[in-house]
Amino acid sequence: MTDQPKATGRVLLIYTGGTIGMGRNRQTGALEPLDFNHLIASMPELAAIPVETVVHQFPQPIDSSDMKPQLWARIVQIIADHYEQYDGFVILHGTDTMAFTASALSFMLENLTKPVILTGSQLPINQLRTDGRENLITSIEIAAARHPDGRPRVPEVCIYFSGKLLRGNRATKINSEGFNAFDTFNLPHLADAGVNITYHDELILHPDYSRPMRPHFAMDTGVIVFTLFPGIEEDTVRHLLATPRLRGIVMRTYGSGNAPQQPWLMEALSEATAQGITIINITQCAAGPVAMARYSGGYLLQNAGVISGYDGTVECAVAKLMHLMGHTTDTALIRAQMSRALCGEITVG
């Protein structure tokens, strides 16, 4: 751990929408996305940051509940088109789906060698008690921060929120009200911002600087998330597994990856596996990994072809499946890649 260097450089600020730039609709009183000029007008401090910040905004800013893979591809395209001109990228994004977007971008921007920092806020930036100012200013500073040798301090897709820099594909929205909206339960913070920004360099990824960043665009959305609960019915599960074009399932199990030991469930899952559907086991617990051989329910799942999601999040498993399925129809390859860490998203072993 060391003190941060002085932030200088060029940052591209990509504005997608979210509460940070919202204002009240005069008729309904509900918050709705406004364009970036509104945000700039509320934040003259932007001009005072010692980093050259250029803005690129979505033509139509959105509430992040409208985020979708086509828009992830648009963000990837913007980053790829401007990759050489900037030291880092800050994405202003609604908090509701920020963890999905951060996860997706971590796979879509292969061998990322520059910081991509997602942030937003719980209160619009024009409100007196807004958390948006600090989130935005610190994100820009982190996106521009470099080591003394000129290499970026955090060459990863991250979420910065409320004093914490988090690996994006490990993060989850944990609070719909408090400013402390995100956390990573299975990985410490990459940095903590107080009076100084303290980077935990030993946790930060090391890309291969001799290779270029490789953007990916294809995502296959044939994925569902399903949660086990006591009393779950065979008809429900069979109906779900018969979903047209289904290729991937994120199954939210109990504890360390456990499930009811009902023969019908194991049969249904085995049949789905045999049809080429990839089923990933993610625990319903906020913290801790899946360890499928620990209890007999988990062991049976393993025999049914269900793959451990280790200590990954649901958001990340969904995005990773979409990404892999978008690039290959080889189920064995998808399963093998789901069991490897591609960019720090799971701890295998």
Tokens 């069991």 found at? 339
Q: Which is nearer to ligand ASP, 18 or 257 (CB)?
A: 18
Helix or strand holding residue 250 (H, E): strand 248-253
Nearest one of 97, 126, 121 to 20, comparing CA atoms: 121
Window of 90-98, 149-157, 291-299, 326-334 that interacts with ligand ASP by CB under 6 A: 90-98
Question: Of the candidates 120, 168, 248, 309, which one interacts with ligand ASP according to CB under 6 A?
Answer: 120
Question: Of the candidates 94, 115, 132, 305, which one interacts with ligand ASP according to CB under 6 A?
Answer: 94
Decide: 141 and 51 in contact? Cβ < 8 Å. Answer: yes
3-state class of 80 per DSSP?
helix
Nearest one of 121, 124, 99 to 180, comparing CA atoms: 121
Measured CA to CA, the distance from residue 11 to residue 111 in angstroms comes to: 19
Give residue number: closest CB to ligand ASP. Answer: 94
Length of the chain: 349
User: 2, 16, 19, 221: which one is catalytic?
Assistant: 19
- 193: which strand partners? 197
Is residue 18 a contact residue for ligand ASP (CB under 6 A)? Answer: yes
Question: Of the candidates 42, 53, 64, 106, which one interacts with ligand ASP according to CB under 6 A?
Answer: 64
Is residue 19 a contact residue for ligand ASP (CB under 6 A)? Answer: yes
CB of 248 to ligand ASP, least distance (A): 24
Helix then strand then coil, % of the chain, to nearest 5: 30, 25, 45
3-state class of 199 per DSSP?
strand
Is residue 96 a contact residue for ligand ASP (CB under 6 A)? Answer: yes
Decide: 157 and 204 in contact? Cβ < 8 Å. Answer: no
Window of 15-23, 141-149, 188-196, 233-241 that interacts with ligand ASP by CB under 6 A: 15-23
176-235: which residues touch ligand ASP (CB under 6 A)?
Answer: none
Is residue 21 a contact residue for ligand ASP (CB under 6 A)? Answer: no
CB of 41 to ligand ASP, least distance (A): 19
Measured CA to CA, the distance from residue 143 to residue 10 in angstroms comes to: 9
Q: Which is nearer to ligand ASP, 139 or 253 (CB)?
A: 139
Residue type, 252: R
Q: Which is nearer to ligand ASP, 63 or 201 (CB)?
A: 63
CB of 96 to ligand ASP, least distance (A): 3
CB of 142 to ligand ASP, least distance (A): 20
> Residue 142, CB half-sphere, CA atoms under 13 Å: how many?
36
CB of 101 to ligand ASP, least distance (A): 10
CB of 295 to ligand ASP, least distance (A): 37
- Exposure string of 68-86, with b = 16+ CB inside 10 Å and e = fewer, is ebebbbbbbebbbeebeeb
Decide: 199 and 154 in contact? Cβ < 8 Å. Answer: yes
Measured CA to CA, the distance from residue 337 to residue 278 in angstroms comes to: 11
Question: Of the candidates 15, 53, 75, 95, which one interacts with ligand ASP according to CB under 6 A?
Answer: 95
273 is catalytic: no
Question: Of the candidates 35, 63, 134, 192, which one interacts with ligand ASP according to CB under 6 A?
Answer: 63
The β-bridge relationship of strands 278-283 and 248-253 is parallel
158-187: which residues touch ligand ASP (CB under 6 A)?
Answer: none
Is residue 134 a contact residue for ligand ASP (CB under 6 A)? Answer: no
Given the rule CB under 6 A, which residues bind ligand ASP? 17-19, 63-65, 94-96, 120, 122
- Catalytic residue positions, numbered: 19
